[in-house]
Structure 1
């Protein structure tokens, strides 16, 4: 194999593929990146039996061929090269990179032992790349991190005609985002439980092109495969990942809370105040929201050592009438900040039912406007002492 690429094209392509490499590969060849050159250009790929990544880039190909090389090392080298064309040659045992006066010689891995990449599933439709990236970022904050409970580490993608829904929960909070997309079939329906980490990295890395193509293979959860493809600075990008096994909990009904009390306030003011007050919050204790007639006060403390409070003007409405159903709410500080940070609306609307019960957070374009129901975030309130 003998090829020439521009330095930036090489660095971008290798970095994108390398992000999917396993940190602790079960066999040494899975740490490798497959570089294949033919008349159409150069294709770089990685695969760990769960997630695959592949990128096609333009290059001058003098001799066709393929080589398997340590992916992370190649990424480090590519990033450090001077801004000049890069010549790469490889045979059965060595790969050589020459860029200006810089020269690297690397030992290759056995290509014959590398597993075949899965075939991209059948296309299901397309979604605007920027909308997709924003939607995924809003939902993955609510996904779990505990690998011992894998069903909670995923994002449930639901296809229903021209609506694409993303839903995630870690049992203590839930996030739902609904966006429009272009299905290949107007009657398209289906669902897939996608690893949240893979989905987040994929959506963020495909915003250069106008759209992301979603492909879904039929099969039960755990046996199915989902694929995403789109264009980036380096060329065409494709990734596939196996769906998570297990049944996602039925939590959609929690998104339809009928409030006994609602609070509306400026999102930026809430975020700034919550960050300041949370500085003194003791581990595993709540950030309290004290609800008044026309304001809320955020409070936190570390025993007698430190206390903090800050008042924010708010619109408070008692929907049930009579004595307010709730006068104080306890939030996990991190959960509250996560929800407000990804809300993407100038004002926030809190729907409360009772102390210790779920709280629904939605966005508002105007303080007295209608709720923006395309994104809904539910937080399970912490019980307050007394």
Structure 2
């Protein structure tokens, strides 16, 4: 193999493909990055039996060939090279990189031992890359991090015609985002539970192109695979990942709570107040929201050592008609901050049903306008001491 390409193109491509390399590979060969050159392009690939990453970039290819080298080492080297053209050659035993006066020689790994990458499923539809990245980021905050409960570490993707829904929960909070996309079939339906971490990294890494193609394997094939293809600054990027097993909890009904008390306020003001008051919130204790006519007050404390109180203007409504039926609510301050940041709306509405019950957060473009129904975030309230 003998190729020439720009240093920045090489560095970005290797860095992107190497991100998917396992930190503790089950077998040493999986630490390798596969480099394949042919027909005026270079394909860099990584695979850990769960997730595969493949990027294709243009290059001046003098001799076709395939080589397998340590992915993380190659990424470190490519990032450190001077800003000049890079020449790469390889044979059966070594790969050599020459860039200006810098020269590196790497021992190659046996290509024959490297597992075959899974085939990309048939395309299901496309979605604007910026919209996809934003939507995934909004629901990712509610996904679980506990690997002992894998079903909660995923984002459920639901396809129904021209609507793509993303849903995540860690049992204490839930997020739902619905957005329009372009399906290959107008009558297409399907669902998949995608590892949240892989989905988030994929969505962020494909914003350079206009759109992302989603490829979901048919349920009848039983291979449980989803693929994503998009364009980056250096070339075409493809990722496949195995879907999570297990039944996702039925939490959609919590997204349509009938509010007994609703509170509307400026989102930025609430975010800033939560950040300030939360500084003194003791671990595993709540940030309290006291609800009154025309205002809310946030309170937190660490025993007798520190207390914080801040009042904000708000529009408060009680649907019972009998005066305020709920005057206090307890939030996990971190969950509340995440939810408010994910709303991406100038105003927020809190919809309360009862103390200790789920609270629904939705965005508003105007303080007295209609709720924005495309994104909904539910937080399970903490019980307050009597």
Structure 1 counterpart of 2:97 = 97
Partner of 2:58: 58
TM-score by length of 1: 0.99
1:139 counterpart residue number: 139
Q: Distance in 2 between matches of 1:260 and 1:307?
A: 30
CA-to-partner distance for each residue in 1:260-307, whole Å, 9 max, x for gaps? 000000010011110111111111111111111111111111000110
Task: Quote the offset at 1:219 in angstroms.
Answer: 3.0
CA deviation profile, 1:88-107 (whole Å, cap 9, x unmatched): 11111111111111111111
Q: Is 1:304 matched with 2:304?
A: yes
Which residue is 1:115 aligned to? 115
Runs of 5+ consecutive residues of structure 2 not aligned to the other structure: none
Conservation of the 8 A alpha-carbon contact between 1:193 and 1:221: no
| 2:137–2:200 Cα contact (<8 Å) kept | yes
- Write the deviation string for residues 317-368 of structure 1: whole angstroms up to 9, x where unpaired: 1111214221111000110000001110000010000000000000000000
Please name the residue that 2:229 is paired with.
Answer: 229
Distance, in Å, in 2 between the alignment partners of 1:78 and 1:304 is 55
Q: Take 2:155 and 2:325, find their aligned partners in 1: how far apart are those partners?
A: 33
Contact 1:222 1:243 in 2 (8 A): no
| Residues in 2 aligned to 1:110 and 1:325: alpha-carbon distance in whole angstroms | 70
Q: What is the match of residue 281 of structure 1? A: 281
> Which residue does 2:48 correspond to in 1?
48
Number of residues paired by the alignment? 386
Q: CA deviation at 1:222?
A: 8.1
1:221 positional shift: 11
Deviation string 1:207-262 (CA, Å, 9 cap, x unpaired) is 11111000011237984100000111010000000000000000000000110000
**2:344 aligned partner:** 344
2:284 aligns to what SS in structure 1? coil
The corresponding residue for 1:154 is: 154
The separation in 2 between residues aligned to 1:219 and 1:51, in whole angstroms, is 19
> Where in structure 1 are there 5+ consecutive unaligned residues?
none
Question: Given that residues 217 and 223 in structure 2 are in contact (C-alpha distance below 8 angstroms), is that contact kept between their aligned partners in structure 1?
Answer: no
* Residue equivalent to 1:68: 68
- Check the 8 A contact 1:287/1:331 in 2, yes or no: yes
| 1:51–1:241 CA contact under 8 A, matched in 2 | yes
Distance 1:220 1:382 in 2: 43
Alignment of 1:12-51 (within 5 A): 12-51=12-51
Deviation >2 Å, runs of 4+: 219-223
CA distance in 2, matches of 1:59, 1:216: 31
Q: Following TM superposition, by how much is the alpha carbon of 1:109 offset from its aligned partner in structure 2, in angstroms?
A: 1.1
Q: Is the 8 A contact 2:330 2:383 kept in 1?
A: yes
Give the distance between the partners of 1:131 and 1:156, measured in 2 at CA. 17
Residue equivalent to 1:370: 370
The answer as to 2:317 corresponding to 1:332 is no
